[in-house]
């Protein structure tokens, strides 16, 4: 799906929700961690990902559809990846740790489990805008002790500002699966980016823009839910 279609769909969702008996239904906070990586590229490994922030829910119904919720908020999200590349004369480890302000807009459906009035499960999906704030990259070069080639004295470590190299804006699709007991929430969130963070970082090809990987993270979260109904 193109970015233009995502934006149009999001605007339509807001219009439908506002015009279909919408009401402010809940607010909540959530904090989680998991792992983040970059897809579709060799040598990419995962690194720790974080996500913390708050959200607000608006409940609405359209025709015969069951009660739904539109959720938005503000989150601080750390994404990134770790690249490890080894050849005959050196090993390069590059750890990327960018932090974003994430603004989601998700449609959520919650089902009350019949075993009790205190147990709920939910599923949610929608786009998010991700605005790069800050972050560091850490590059380590290790040269093995091969006779006549390079040695330990050629090892190096350096750091750099993430958004001196990476694009500052990304759009992602969020898919969430949740469980709520009373006012406590447990969520698993898949964050799949749509834009390439850096077009020239392909590990194999350095002389052309062949990098196609996008950012992905998988986060397990705990939170608290304040019902306003």
Global model pTM greater than 0.75: yes
pLDDT in tens, 167-198: 899 999 999 999 999 899 999 999 999 988 87
pLDDT in tens, 10-51: 555 554 544 445 577 899 999 999 999 988 666 678 899 999
Please state, as a whole number, how many other Cβ atoms lie within 10 Å of the Cβ of residue 123.
Answer: 14
User: What is the per-residue pLDDT for 213?
Assistant: 79
Which residues are paired to 90 by β-bridges? none
pLDDT band at 68; cut points 50, 70, 90:
confident
Could you say which of 3.30.930.10, 1.20.140.10, 2.40.160.20, 3.40.50.300 is the CATH number of the domain covering 3-227? 2.40.160.20
Residue found under tokens 């999200």:
77
pLDDT in tens, 84-140: 877 667 777 888 899 999 999 999 988 889 887 889 999 999 999 999 999 999 988
Per residue, the 3-state secondary structure of 96-146, as one string, reads: EEEEEEEEEEEEEEEEECCCCCCEEEEEEEEEEEEEEEEEEEEEEEECCCC
DSSP element (H, E) containing 181: strand 169-181
- Give the residue extent of every domain in the chain: 3-227
User: What is the per-residue pLDDT for 144?
Assistant: 64
Note whether 38 and 216 are within 8 A (CB): yes
pLDDT band at 209; cut points 50, 70, 90:
very low
Which residues are paired to 181 by β-bridges? 119, 184
**Beta strands 156-161 and 184-193, pairing class:** unpaired
pLDDT in tens, 152-170: 556 777 888 989 888 899 9
């Amino acid at each position: 799906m193109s970015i233009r279609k995502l934006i149009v769909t999001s605007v339509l969702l807001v219009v439908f929700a506002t015009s279909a008996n919408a009401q402010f239904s809940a607010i909540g906070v959530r904090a989680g961690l998991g792992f983040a990586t970059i897809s579709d590229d060799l040598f990419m490994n995962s690194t720790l990902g974080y996500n913390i922030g708050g959200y607000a829910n608006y409940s609405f119904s359209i025709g015969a559809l069951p009660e739904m919720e539109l959720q938005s908020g503000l989150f601080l999200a750390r994404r990134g990846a770790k690249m490890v590349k080894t050849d005959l004369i050196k090993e390069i480890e590059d750890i990327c740790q960018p932090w974003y302000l994430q603004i989601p807009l998700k449609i959520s459906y919650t089902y009350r489990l019949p075993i009790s009035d205190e147990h709920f499960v939910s599923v949610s999906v929608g786009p998010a805008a991700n605005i790069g704030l800050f972050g560091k990259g850490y590059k380590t070069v290790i040269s093995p002790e091969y006779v006549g080639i390079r040695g330990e004295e050629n090892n190096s470590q350096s750091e750099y500002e993430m958004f001196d190299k990476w694009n500052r804006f990304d759009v992602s699709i969020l898919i969430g699966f949740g469980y709520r007991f009373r006012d406590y929430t447990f969520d698993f969130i898949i964050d799949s980016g749509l834009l390439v963070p850096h077009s020239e970082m392909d590990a194999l090809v350095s002389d052309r823009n062949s990098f196609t990987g996008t950012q992905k993270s998988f986060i397990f979260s705990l939170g608290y839910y304040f019902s306003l109904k």
